[in-house]
A and B are shown apart, each in its own frame.
Chain A
């Protein structure tokens, strides 16, 4: 494990990514405690203020919300939806892929055609259709995003499970009378954990991007709740007045967090590869 940590620490971009990620989480979660602002009632008297005016460090938006404070509460939604949707997608995909790969045969073929069909429908189109059917609350976004993005992990884990199922310890477990369910959950899935963890990182990054896309297209969480994508959607009408403070902060926040997750994922992959080589 310490060897893994050392390997991770050797990847400077991964370490930087982890630090940035930590800071952004702190900013979103604890920021509002240090910099309390009203993000529910509008204040039209102080709308569209530039940065610095009247104690608003990053100015205000068209409804008079303090922009820095809004960046924090929006970050909570973006990060929460991203992490939980990524986790949900990882869990569903892992179980689906492990079962398909372990059972094989017709079951595998049917399960993987379902995955193929799901991958054939681009997630963003499916999400827009679904958001016209269900009300896009935070909880609903997590479920819907999770349910459209489990397909890639399912493919990856199936490929792993296909090789794991022929290993001696799986054969031995079966010979000793372990049920199929036990074999899958106690032997197949734990032995794909490296792939699962690395993919989960990318899954969260993609979920954060997707939720930003949905909100930017105006089909995400509804006001007064907001996220970074929705802030950009609100800010776009002011781009022609040069109101950069409504555009750059939420946009850069998305880029930073997605980059950080990708770098961390790369670092984790180095760690997992090392373990694979040692085994």
Chain B
């Protein structure tokens, strides 16, 4: 949601273009360079998170001890936790703890941040994964259909509909679905499944329908557009003309040749799309009270539980960096035009 719909492709193009250039110089070198680049980015992220921790009014000590703490208590806490040391040393020890998986203790949950996230992340991945599957199953046929019928009325209207869907805040869409399908029609429960494990959540499939649907619609809006433009690019390729000239039926050309080639960039886009999906999960989980990482983050924001907030930010950011790294690598590996230096 941080990227305007039409600009999203542009940002990804910018990220993908180095792959086209450097792949010729050898995939191994490209791989090494992208991995190093990603490590640098993760380091910068850790600096930002560390800076946020220290941007709290009064610093981390005030955060832990509360607004009523006396200067003596704060001094004692700072000495006990090494907060009186030079900032660089503090950062290094923060980095060391983070790398070993120690994200600190929640102020409120009586649980380590790593445990709190570890318990909820699978449920968020389940919800997001289901939304993603539903969304791709809808978006790919819509995008291909639009490309085949390009510039006809139906293409025009589907494109406009995608912009409307993109412009609809996820929470408003969810509220509309609750109002229509749950309140008025009484078809589906408005509350998401509860429970601590993935199995318990899966045991209540009716409750999953509205959250999954709400999460899927914005992804459909974006990915039908990607699919449409990727398919259009491929329809203009020579192999389409060759296949047609050999007498292959148009439908078969589209389904067997064009679709396969258009799916690569679309699948790679999923990697760049992770931050948007996490953002969507935050809103969907809050709206439907689904016990995932988004809801954890939201409650932590309500109660200023900083270790949880910053732990979540760190996990999500690393996932985002790894996601776009994988997307770049998949593109460099699978797109024949960037494969030059592989053999």
Contact = CB atoms under 8 A, between A and B. Distances in A.
Interface of A: 13, 113-114, 116-126, 128-133, 148-149, 151-152, 155-156, 159, 199, 202-203, 205-206, 209-210, 212-213, 216-219, 229, 232, 236, 239-240, 242, 244, 247, 251, 254-255, 258-259, 262-263, 265-266, 269
Contacts of A117: 41-42, 44-45, 48, 317
A128 B183 contact: no
A262 B11 contact: no
Interface stretch (B162-170, B226-234, B258-266): B162-170
Interface of B: 1-7, 10-11, 14, 37, 40-42, 44-45, 48, 52, 55-57, 160, 163-164, 166-172, 175-176, 178-179, 183, 190, 275-276, 278-279, 282-283, 286-287, 297-298, 301-302, 304, 306, 309-310, 312-313, 316-318, 320-321, 324
B302 to A, nearest CB: 7
Given A125-B297, A126-B313, A132-B309, A152 B169 contact: no
Contacts of B11: 119, 152, 155-156
A124 B4 contact: no
Nearest to A125: B313
A206 B301 contact: no
Given A239-B179, A259-B164, A213 B320 contact: no
Contacts of A130: 52
A205 B167 contact: yes
Question: Among B7, B176, B190, which residue has the most Cβ atoms of chain A within 10 A?
Answer: B7
14 contacts: A117-B41, A121-B45, A122-B317, A132-B301, A133-B55, A202-B4, A206-B1, A209-B167, A242-B183, A251-B168, A251-B172, A254-B167, A255-B164, A262-B6
Given A251-B169, A254-B169, A259-B163, 20 more contacts: A120-B45, A120-B275, A120-B321, A122-B276, A123-B2, A125-B316, A128-B298, A129-B309, A129-B310, A133-B52, A152-B4, A213-B1, A213-B171, A216-B169, A216-B283, A242-B183, A255-B164, A258-B167, A265-B4, A265-B6
B168 A255 contact: yes
B41 A129 contact: no
Contacts of B41: 113, 116-117, 120
A119 to B, nearest CB: 7
A265 B13 CA distance: 19
Contact of B1 (A120, A156, A203, A210): A210
A209 B169 contact: yes
Question: Among A125, A133, A244, which residue has the most Cβ atoms of chain B within 10 A?
Answer: A125
Contacts, number: 179
B201 to A, nearest CB: 22
B4 A203 contact: yes
Contacts of A132: 301, 304, 306, 309
Contacts of A206: 1-4
B109 to A, nearest CB: 16
Contacts of B318: 120
Contacts of B4: 152, 199, 202-203, 205-206, 262, 265
A36 to B, nearest CB: 28
Contact of A125 (B5, B164, B278, B321): B278
Nearest to B57: A133
A112 to B, nearest CB: 9
Nearest to B38: A116
B282 A125 contact: yes
B5 A262 contact: yes
Given A120-B321, A152-B7, A262-B166, A125 B45 contact: no
A210 B170 CA distance: 11
B172 A232 contact: yes
A199 B5 CA distance: 11
Contact of B56 (A128, A133, A217): A133
B168 to A, nearest CB: 5
A258 B309 CA distance: 29
Contact of A199 (B7, B275, B302, B304): B7
A269 B316 contact: no
Question: Among A121, A149, A159, which residue has the most Cβ atoms of chain B within 10 A?
Answer: A121
Contact of B2 (A122, A199, A255, A262): A122
